Amino acid sequence: MVLLGRRVFWPLVPEVVGEAATGRGAYELARDARADVVVMDVRMPELDGIEATGLIAAAEDLAGVRVLVLTTYGTDEHIIAALRAGASGFIVKDTLPADMLQAVRTVAAGDALLSPGPTARVIARVLRLPETASSLDARFTPERLAALSSREREVLTLVAKGLNNTEIAQALHLSPFTAKTHVSRIMNRLGARDRAQLVIIGYETGLVVPGGGI
């Protein structure tokens, strides 16, 4: 099942505007229902959740839609695939309702990752696997980093390690506003949808080494 939500007196009360039983249905309903956030199950008939996420992320008229993927422990490869496809974060299926609502609010507010540190550790763990290393996304090659200044590379490194803007500002002795500006510019220059993709880019270009610590 997929739930689609819209902001109503955000961030207090999210409105559920529809449910879909298939990945294809989720993609179509996201457009028809004018959803802001899609809570997407990975295992779906017709199209799986990862494929449906990719369709939503690629659709120009759905550029403002954020996808939060539901997963289970032990399926880290699904998390990587979902983030590559354009998901803004992930939560586990046994998340408490109150935490689920907070996750939706967080993603809807533009903070792409519900929990950046754990996400970075998941990515680091999965990227150690030989089958993952052999299938890296061609878009995320080291050459892409040539568009960044040395400071922007520093910021991207910290984003990939799971730091938020405030923590980046403290680490680099910047103002929070300056840190946020750097992150926005990096996303624009690399064509990243959100911070989730910046984490992927940081690891897959080799800027951050799996297991290197946070």
88 and 174 assigned to the same domain: no
pTM over the 0.75 mark: no
Say yes or no: 84 and 151 in one domain.
no
- Give the orientation angle of helix 176-190 with respect to helix 165-172, to 10 degrees: 110
**What digits encode the pLDDT tens for the residues 27-36?**
888 888 878 8
Q: For 70-94, give the DSSP string.
A: EE-TT-HHHHHHHHHHT--EEEETT
Burial of 154 (0-12, 13-18, 19+ CB in 10 A): middle
Based on the structure, what is the number of domains in the chain?
A: 2
105 and 142 in a single domain? The answer is no
Same domain, 105 and 199: no
pLDDT at res. 4: 55
CA distances from 38 to 5, 87, 109, 139, 142 (A): 6, 9, 13, 25, 31
Q: Are residues 21 and 102 in the same domain?
A: yes
Is residue 89 assigned to a domain? yes
Verify that 147 and 109 share a domain, yes or no.
Answer: no
Does residue 157 form part of some domain? Answer: yes
**Amino acid found at 187:** M
The residue among 72, 99, 114 that closes a domain is 114
Same domain, yes or no: 105 and 168: no
Q: What is the CATH number of the domain that holds 166?
A: 1.10.10.10
Q: Is residue 64 part of a domain?
A: yes
Residue 122 maps to a domain:
no
Query: Which domain does 177 fall in, by range?
Result: 138-204
CATH number at residue 56: 3.40.50.2300
| Run means of pLDDT, 10 residues per run, the chain, 214 residues | 50 71 87 84 85 89 84 66 80 80 76 54 58 50 82 92 87 94 92 79 78 53
Residues 31 and 85 in one domain: yes
Q: How many helices (H) and strands (E) does the chain have?
A: 10, 5
CA 93 to each of CA 39, 53, 64, 68, 72: distance values in angstroms, whole numbers, following the listed order: 11, 17, 24, 11, 6
**Angle between the 195-204 and 116-126 helix axes, to the nearest 10 degrees?**
30
For residue 132, tell me if it sits in a domain: no
In a domain, 211, yes or no: no
108 and 153 assigned to the same domain: no
Query: Does a structural domain hold residue 123?
Result: no
* Predicted local distance difference test score (pLDDT) of residue 132: 47
Let me know whether 96 and 183 are in one domain: no
- Residue 213 maps to a domain: no
